Amino acid sequence: MSMLTAALPPPRSTDRLLKFQIPEMVFGLDSLAEAGFCAGRLGARRPFVVTDAGLIEAGWVAELLHHLREVGLSPQVWTGVTPNTKDHEIAAGHERYVESGADVIIGIGGGSVLDAAKGIAILSGNGGSIHDYAGVDRVQKPIPPLLMIPSTAGTGSDVSQFCIVTDTAKSVKMTIMGRSIVPDISLTDPRLLTTMPHDLAAATGLDALTHAVEAFVSLGHNPLADGHALSAARLVANALRRNVESPGDEKARLWMAQASLEAGLAFSNSILGATHAMSHQVGGLLDLPHGVINGVLLPHVIRFNATVVPERFAALAHAMGLPVDGVPDGVAAEMLADFVQDLAASVGAPRRLGSLGVTSADVVRMSATAIEDACLATNPRPADIDDIASIFHESL
């Protein structure tokens, strides 16, 4: 029996209808060379490339444009994206998209870039303001084809049904969710991970781990997603520290790229939980790195949720190589929480939200908005505003 199979808890009986939606996936070293053919299969003539200054400086956009042009395409480039995608950036990108007469939308970059590409696509097909689509299944009309090329190992946006956008007037992050925004093609070339700064490699890796953990224990978890979640957790446990400390370690890069992809497949189809519902509020209020916030919050949320699904956390601990054979599930869950906390600290993440500038005065506001976040609906343990506030205070 494989370690992965052994880590799975006994299957539960269910009569639920399961759906598992994924894009076409192209994965492997040097796969960026396939971008032109991928765009062509989507009908591109004037693809709209969404990216940021960092990817241009790293040289990846120039390489992408070369591959697009060598198959006869005429790409248009837009770079107006900053970390934690803003509502006004999506409005500006949509305006540029319309002016350019472009067709297929290509996002190349981290999660903010890919979410911006999705946001532009939503407005292009549906009109209005990006605020109109916050929530679940509010994107009703078709959107332009999407080709997503991640440059970080953690976002999962390249395969997911999520788009996260900051409402700058309210200083909160909006969750836009729906199967209509799952990209058409995801192209992952692990070479792109070599130019991530150490702090970004750490933050995005912690995001991938949070995706895997929350997907596996989510109320929406299912047998089709469970294997991907456990595999992603195992890969992060083995490769994150190596990838941060040694970006030239090819095996670690491949493992983290795969972890990001598999965690994305898992959470897109199982949804998430309280960690993300809370992290979105911190990031929206203070414009902080999403993965770092997750790394601080996740151990506390594991402890909160372990009272109702300790066996799920025990399975995760086993998959990640923790010595939990013969250990009670509740103890294994606590060991997992400690491991996550130590792993985050080992790659430079703080142990407390207070180190990121969060204060007790922020808790009331963030708790009130967190309970409205769509991710909280699938948290395995019901959480009201007092529960969320308590976790925030514990994390300070």
CATH number at 288 reads: 1.20.1090.10
**Closest among 110, 232, 105 to 181, alpha carbons compared:** 105
Tell me if 392 sits within 8 A of 354, measured CB to CB: no
Q: The whole model's pTM is what?
A: 0.94
- Rg of the Cα atoms in the chain: 20
Tell me 154's DSSP state: S
Please tell me whether residues 162 and 227 are part of one structural domain.
no
Give residue 255's domain range: 197-395
Backbone torsions φ then ψ of 185, nearest 5 degrees: -135, 135
Tell me if 204 sits within 8 A of 264, measured CB to CB: no
**Closest among 316, 321, 325 to 218, alpha carbons compared:** 316
Please tell me whether residues 232 and 279 are part of one structural domain.
yes
- Residue 220 predicted with pLDDT over 50: yes
What are the Cα distances from residue 30, in Å, to 11, 105, 192, 372?
A: 39, 21, 9, 42
As for how many domains the chain has, the answer is 2
Residue 386 lies in a domain: yes
Question: What pLDDT is attached to residue 65?
Answer: 98
- Residue 3 predicted with pLDDT over 50: no
**What are the residues whose beta carbons fall under 8 Å from the beta carbon of 372, sequence distance 6 or more?**
none
Of the residues 172, 192, 212, which one is the last residue of a structural domain? 192
Q: What percentage of the chain has pLDDT greater than the value 90?
A: 94
Please tell me whether residues 262 and 286 are part of one structural domain.
yes
CA–CA separation, 40 and 68 (whole Å): 9
Of the residues 137, 167, 192, which one is the last residue of a structural domain? 192
Strands 185-188 and 24-27: parallel
CA–CA separation, 363 and 373 (whole Å): 15
Question: What pLDDT is attached to residue 2?
Answer: 39
Residue 107 lies in a domain: yes
Question: What pLDDT is attached to residue 9?
Answer: 56
Question: What pLDDT is attached to residue 10?
Answer: 53
Please tell me whether residues 186 and 213 are part of one structural domain.
no
Question: What pLDDT is attached to residue 247?
Answer: 81
Please tell me whether residues 48 and 186 are part of one structural domain.
yes
pLDDT tens track for 112-147: 999 999 999 999 999 999 999 999 999 999 999 999
Please tell me whether residues 117 and 252 are part of one structural domain.
no
CATH number at 81 reads: 3.40.50.1970
Please tell me whether residues 269 and 323 are part of one structural domain.
yes
pLDDT confidence of 16, banded at 50, 70, 90?
low
What are the Cα distances from residue 151, in Å, to 36, 78, 131, 173?
A: 17, 17, 27, 22
- Residue 1 predicted with pLDDT over 80: no
Please tell me whether residues 183 and 218 are part of one structural domain.
no
pLDDT tens track for 176-199: 999 999 999 999 999 999 999 999
pLDDT tens track for 319-330: 999 999 999 999
